[in-house]
Amino acid sequence: MRKLLYILITILTLSFVMSCSRSVDKRLVLADTLMWTRPDSSLAILNAINRDSLQGEENQAYYALLLTQAQFRCNIPLTSDTLISKAVDYYSDNHNQEHYTRALLYKGGAYEDMGNQVEAIKWYKQAENNADSTDYRNLAQINFRMGLLYYNNYASNNLDLNKFQMAAHYYEILKDKRMLMQSLYYCGNLLRITDINAARKCYDKALSTAIELKDTINLYRLDSSYALMYIEDSLYSQAKKYILDAFRLNNRFEENYNYYLLGLIYANQKDLDSAKYFISLPDKSQNSAYDSLMMYKALREISLCDNDISQYRKFNTQYNRISDSLEHNETKYILHDSEQEFDADRIAAKGKKVSLLNKSIFILVALFLIFALVTAALFIVSRRKNRKDKQQMIDELKEENFGNYEELRSNLADFDNHFSKTMNEKLKSLEEIMTGAYNPNQDSKSKEVEHKISPIADDDTKFWEGLYSYINIKHNGAMDRIANDYPQLSANDLNFIKLMCCGFSDAAIAVCRNYRNVASVRSSRRRIRDKMGIEGNLTDYIRNITVR
């Protein structure tokens, strides 16, 4: 009996010692609670801790996680992943899901600081995959960091916008005004090209938060963004007001870019001396790629204002070179491929796990049904969107007066038979769409519209060659002048301009070029205008060429 009592006492003693060794150091807990509100204080607490005084693997791993996070939050560049790897290794076999997600996230942050963006996106994706659906803080940070990676590599196809929108969603749930403001700022920058109203809403909401928080850095950035909005609408006085407001904040955190922006504004206002003055101020050796793009855009406008065509051509070449390099930045494609590859591997791993756990045919059938339902749902959503876009184009066509095209039709008899016949067919189809009571929401009518639009959008080389000749004869060699003066224009760009020369409306061009919606026409027009390096409205510019 006494022996049994000794055994019980020994077991209780060992349990007590083990439980003490597993207790979390209170200094670490305190540092964690201050991490988001006062990261500098959190870092000070962690730096004051002697690592040798931390008992147990859990405290060592927790310290490694918190110190890495605090350095990252205080903008201290991480030069190695050695420290955070200890936390990743420990929590991978631990049941603390939130700490493991955080460790994966900041291992991605370490690689991002070290310039290895592909490895960073892989660790961010692992963190996203591991995160609990209610772990809003980590999910917000993961999406924000991935958004920045894409944003800084000038990604397209909304890769960065989707991430920032998800981050904003989570920060709104968390009521984290500062990070919500930053997410909205980036959303506004990305929406500014495609949806100016949505961009303005993002900026306005971010601005009210910046004023509330008295955040001069973000007030400065938002002033620049508002200025860009007004520049794109050629409202230079309003744009200048916002840039000058930014400088009054005395926060030079994007100094070069804003000096070039101000130079561009003064050049468009024909104030050549002021434009040259502000362009000369920045240290050009500190230019980022986007700074240089804005610099050459401003220098291009200054050359036009100064009537120096040779300088204009030189700066325009530099502008196009940088613009093309940003547009075709290989890193953004590598990042996207890495993310897609991770998603594909994750899906494959889950499928394998399901197969190993249960090979029942019923699960396979269930997965197939889910896939079919999702596919059907996506098809329905896509179809509704396409119908809405088609209805908008048709409504705009119905509002037009077809008399605008009668002169074009009357001149066709003198030209090549193939061109005349094809153009007559296109005009006839457009007229039938204009005058018909088509409604894409009615299946029978929708098929009729598809039947009319399909031949209009055919890519007929002989037709486009005929149209080129027609415009040259009708408008005294207008197409030759455009093609010779702007060799950077592609064949598709020139085809777009040909339709403009013939007086086709946005809706008619959208149908003839098989665009999804009218907004795509306006985006193409802006892109061609920038490619040509002209100021003002492209439609007016083409009209001036055709009346020479």
At 5 the pLDDT is 46
Angle between the N-to-C axes of helices 289-305 and 255-268, in degrees from 0 to 180, rounded to the nearest 10 = 20
- Contact indicator for 160, 186 with CB cutoff of 8 Å: yes
Q: What is the pLDDT of residues 354-382, one digit of tens each?
A: 445 555 666 666 777 787 777 677 777 76
Question: Residue 469: pLDDT band by 50, 70, 90 thresholds?
Answer: confident
Angle between the N-to-C axes of helices 289-305 and 309-327, in degrees from 0 to 180, rounded to the nearest 10 = 160
d(CA 256, CA 319): 16
d(CA 96, CA 492): 56
Mean pLDDT, rounded, for 16-22: 43
Q: How far does Cα 21 stand from its chain's mean position?
A: 49
The percentage of the chain sitting over the pLDDT mark of 90, rounded to a whole number, equals: 37
Residue 409 one-letter amino acid: R
DSSP 8-state secondary structure symbol assigned to residue 523: H
Listed as own residue / partner, the contacts of 268-274 with beta carbons closer than 8 Å and 24 or more positions apart are 268/231, 268/234, 268/236, 268/301, 268/535, 269/236, 269/237, 269/240, 270/305, 272/302, 272/305, 272/306
Q: What is the pLDDT of residues 516-547, one digit of tens each?
A: 788 888 888 889 889 888 888 888 888 888 77
User: Which of 35-49, 240-254, 278-292, 449-463 is most confident?
Assistant: 35-49
Q: What is the pLDDT of residues 475-494, one digit of tens each?
A: 888 889 888 988 998 988 88
Nearest alpha-carbon partner for 254 in 231, 295, 287: 287
Task: Give the residue carrying structure tokens 């050796």.
Answer: 285
Q: What is the pLDDT of residues 380-434, one digit of tens each?
A: 776 676 667 766 667 666 666 666 677 777 777 667 677 777 787 777 777 777 6
d(CA 528, CA 490): 10
